């Protein structure tokens, strides 16, 4: 957007025309230091166990572990991670003026077939140096992960890409359920759903149980894979996730699915089991 070398008009004039601060074009974000990365890892692990903890409780938890840290630092790191305590809050359900919030459609509904309801969510992925964000789209009935994307920002683009890929490969579901995150209420994401005539359902604020299967997926992914490996680059992370999601869909059986895998349930397969001796 800004042309620097030998540019006409000048940098000052370009900033004036674009209505941005001139100082912002010289700013270079600093990488996260090693100590903050350790703290972020601790916060991420504990948040999976206690999503109702806010910055005060998280600060006390870290202090008891030996970290000399104040609440403002914890707040900054949790904002960076996109984490917020889950609890009922007064006057916080008002939508962004440019975004529409849709009602929750799944209350009391019997979900008994693949393609009936899809759900999605975003989670924070700690890396050796830095972090990424992961979005996954899941078929609610079978727990199958239909598509996923990683990004180093929380823009809506990577969520829209994952949604389009899932629709292209599996067709459109009847209902799509999300939380009220800005990525899922964005015009691009909503338009993609509406173009395929998909009914839109959104969780109530602070209702973690509305999207419980995605939350279970994040817990399983992080404790059984992410925390056991180190990823230096985004490409390493993508390669690892591709292998893990393939294992999750094809080979990881679920007790809640009568010990079948997500692929078996989604495609209607029944494994041939050996008889007990």
pLDDT tens-digit series, residues 125-145 = 888 777 889 999 999 999 999
Domain ranges in the chain are 1-30, 34-81, 117-267
The confidence score (pLDDT) of residue 6 equals: 54
The confidence score (pLDDT) of residue 136 equals: 97
Q: Around 37, how many Cα atoms within 13 Å sit in the side-chain half-sphere?
A: 15
The confidence score (pLDDT) of residue 91 equals: 36
Distances (CA, A) of 195 to 116, 159, 198, 222: 17, 16, 8, 34
The confidence score (pLDDT) of residue 151 equals: 93
The confidence score (pLDDT) of residue 2 equals: 53
What CATH number matches the domain at 117-267, 2.40.420.20, 3.40.1190.20, 3.30.420.10, 3.50.50.60? 3.30.420.10
The confidence score (pLDDT) of residue 29 equals: 58
The confidence score (pLDDT) of residue 88 equals: 43
215-233: b or e for each residue (b if 16 or more CB lie within 10 Å)? bebbeebbeebbeeeebee
Residues lower than pLDDT 50 in the chain = 88-95, 206, 277
The confidence score (pLDDT) of residue 92 equals: 29
């Amino acid at each position: 957007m800004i042309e620097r070398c030998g540019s006409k008009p000048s940098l000052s004039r370009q900033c004036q025309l674009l209505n941005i601060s001139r100082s912002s074009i010289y700013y270079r974000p600093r990488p996260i230091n090693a100590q903050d990365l350790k703290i972020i890892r601790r916060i991420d692990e504990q948040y999976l166990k206690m999503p109702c903890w806010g910055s005060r409780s998280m600060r006390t938890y870290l202090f008891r572990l030996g970290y000399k840290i104040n609440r403002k630092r914890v707040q900054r790191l949790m904002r960076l991670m996109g984490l917020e305590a889950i609890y009922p809050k007064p006057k916080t359900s008002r939508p962004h003026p440019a975004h529409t919030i849709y009602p929750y459609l799944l209350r009391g509904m019997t979900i008994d077939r693949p393609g009936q309801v899809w759900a999605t969510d975003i989670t924070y992925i700690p890396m050796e140096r830095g972090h990424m964000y992961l979005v996954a789209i899941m078929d609610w009935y079978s727990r199958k992960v239909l598509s996923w994307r990683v990004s180093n920002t929380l823009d809506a683009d990577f969520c829209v890409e994952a949604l389009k890929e899932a629709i292209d490969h599996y067709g459109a579901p009847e209902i799509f359920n999300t939380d009220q995150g800005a990525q899922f209420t964005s015009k691009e994401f909503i338009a993609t759903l509406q173009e395929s005539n998909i009914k839109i359902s959104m969780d109530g604020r602070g209702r973690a149980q509305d999207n419980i299967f995605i939350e279970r997926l994040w817990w399983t992914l992080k404790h059984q894979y992410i925390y056991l490996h180190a990823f230096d680059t985004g490409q390493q992370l993508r390669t690892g996730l591709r292998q893990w999601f393939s294992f999750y869909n094809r080979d990881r059986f679920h007790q809640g699915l009568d010990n079948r895998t997500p692929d078996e349930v989604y495609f209607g397969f029944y494994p041939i089991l050996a008889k007990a001796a």
